[in-house]
Amino acid sequence: MLVGKDLISLRKNKKDIKHKEIRALIGCALPPKLTSFLENYEWSDKFDSDASLIYFPEPRIGDLSRIGEDPIDIINFTINSGYDEVNEFGGIMIFGSRRGVIVGIKEENQDQVYAKNSSDQEFMKVANDIFQFIEGLTDTPIEKAESENEYKLYLQRVGYEGEELDKKTKHWELYRKHLNSK
């Protein structure tokens, strides 16, 4: 089970971000935390590039698929995606889902991560920045946790504690019992 920072690794060499080309495409610079992420991190080789991910704190976003690693490719995908609402909102799509996961590029939403799961819904803020968003990602949904303890540790890593942690863990137990009874 890969979770959060297990999915990424530090680059051996800092990636050259084509800042002038990016500014020409989107009319502004990339947000600082997104820039830092793109320059310094890459997807871990432990992670299958074709696998979909789940953002556990907001699982209703749906399965997430990577768009790419090159900032120019990501920006061109956003511009050409046909989702005019992403461009109007002022974001760059970083993951595909039902309607996409975006990082804000305007002053008022800079570096914040938003998602929506239908065309009639407003973008909802799901993380303060790309690093917080990465912490909530997993390649393994609830069904694949092999033990209550593994699932509980995962929940703790993404911020659950106290009664909320106990409630979620109990839900997992009931879910596994239901699966095993079939």
Please write the tens of the pLDDT for every residue from 76-95: 888 777 777 888 888 888 88
What phi and psi values does residue 98 have, to the nearest 5 degrees? -55, -45
pLDDT band of 26, cuts 50, 70, 90: confident
Mean pLDDT of 171-180: 83
pLDDT at 36: 92
What's the pTM?
Answer: 0.73
* pLDDT tens column, 107-165: 999 999 998 766 667 888 999 999 999 988 887 656 667 788 888 877 776 667 899 89
CA–CA gap between residue 59 and residue 155 (Å, rounded)? 13
Q: For residues 114 and 123, is the Cβ–Cβ distance under 8 A?
A: yes
Return the bridge partners of 104, or none. Answer: 91
- Tally helices (H) and strands (E) across the chain: 7, 9
Q: Please name which of 73, 10, 72 lies closest in space to residue 42, comparing C-alpha atoms.
A: 10
